[in-house]
Amino acid sequence: MKYLSNKKGFLGIDNKFSFKEKVVVIPFGLEKTVSYGSGTKNGPKEIIKASHQVELYDEELQCEPYKKIGIRTLKPFKIDKSIKKALKKISDINSDILSKKLFPITFGGEHSITPGCIIPFVKKYKNLCLLHFDAHADLRESYNGQKFSHASAIKRCLDHKNVSVISFGIRNISKSEILFLKKNSSRINIFWAKDKIKWNLNKFKKLIKNKKVYLTFDVDGLDSSIMPATGTPEPGGLLWEETLNIIKIAAKNSNIVGADINELAPIKSFNSYNFLVAKLAYKILSYKFLYK
């Protein structure tokens, strides 16, 4: 694996700082099946660029988490035009990272990367729980004739019998997805955005307790007032503190084994949205390794 220098990688850490990495950031700007707004191929580079402005000290954890974690960023590489070959590529990369006992976090790109990302985890663990943040259920069998569409990402993950999913923030779903959901209710738990005030997070804590968890975050899960920079924004979503609280519960009660963040479609001159995603990524890693 070829890495960027510390200074050019995620968080822009001084090249003089030496560490043994625990985390590998994979920039993977796949954009093949977007169905409304475009630009997700630019997400990874803008997240990394914005991360250079993220304060390294975390006032909640009272430390500089990167010093305790160790984070390296892969050099950008060519992504195959064939979506199946692209998914095989990210699967192979994650497999390599896992073989080195490191933690992979992928910056997409569109959400269709997740079924490729999780394959090594599906093979490694008897049961894998997806912690899924999204405005959309992504349970369609296909969309616009594409089986590996971003709108089918979670459905493709559930093709593996040892995968279950807990979704937060869903507020846009089709009739066909509702039918699939009803037939597979034992494997799918949805915390609907419309019920946010009534969410029972103790139930979530029990659902996730001691599980191997892969965290997949579509940024349109966030409310469109704080995250309009995405292809299919939706009102009525998650806000910042609510999001962090859910991730903290997962970090404290389960074993988060990998992650991806998807669907940032940068808007020129509106860097705050890129910054939000960069800080979210740093928070996910900080909670994973330091919040117990």
- Mean pLDDT throughout 48-65? 97
- Domain ranges (residues) in the chain: 23-290
Pairwise CA distance, residues 231 & 220, whole Å: 8
Q: How confident is the model at residue 81, as a pLDDT? A: 84
Candidates 194, 262, 268; CA nearest to 40 is 262
- Give tens-digit pLDDT for 169-180: 999 999 999 999
* Residues 53-81, mean pLDDT to the nearest whole number: 95
Task: Provide the pLDDT for residue 142.
Answer: 66
Q: Is 149 a residue whose pLDDT tops 90?
A: no
> Among 3.40.800.10, 3.40.50.9100, 3.40.190.80, 3.30.720.200, what is the CATH number of 23-290?
3.40.800.10
Q: Show the tokens assigned to 48.
A: 């990394």
| pLDDT above 60 (res 1) | yes
> Which residues on neighbouring strands pair with residue 256, listed in sequence order?
213
Q: Measured on CA atoms in the order 201, 205, 207, 213, is the torsion positive or negative? A: positive
Tens-digit pLDDT profile for residues 93-105: 999 999 999 999 9
| Euclidean distance between CA atoms 199 and 91, whole angstroms | 34
Q: How confident is the model at residue 33 (pLDDT cuts 50, 70, 90)?
A: low
Copy the structure tokens of residue 122: 């599906």
The reported pLDDT for the residue numbered 200 is: 96
> What's the rounded mean pLDDT across residues 50-69?
97
Residue with tokens 């040892």: 162
pLDDT in tens, 222-257: 999 999 999 889 999 999 999 999 999 999 999 999
| pLDDT at residue 32, rounded to an integer | 67
What pLDDT score was predicted for residue 275? 98
Compute the average pLDDT of residues 15-41: 81
- pLDDT, one tens digit per residue, over 188-207 is 999 999 999 999 999 999 99
Average pLDDT, the chain: 94
Indicate the SS3 state at residue 251: helix
Residue 34 scores a pLDDT above 70: no
Residue 35 has pLDDT above 60, yes or no: no
Prediction pTM value: 0.95
Asked if pLDDT for residue 148 goes beyond 80, the answer is no
**What token pair was written down for 42?**
């630019």
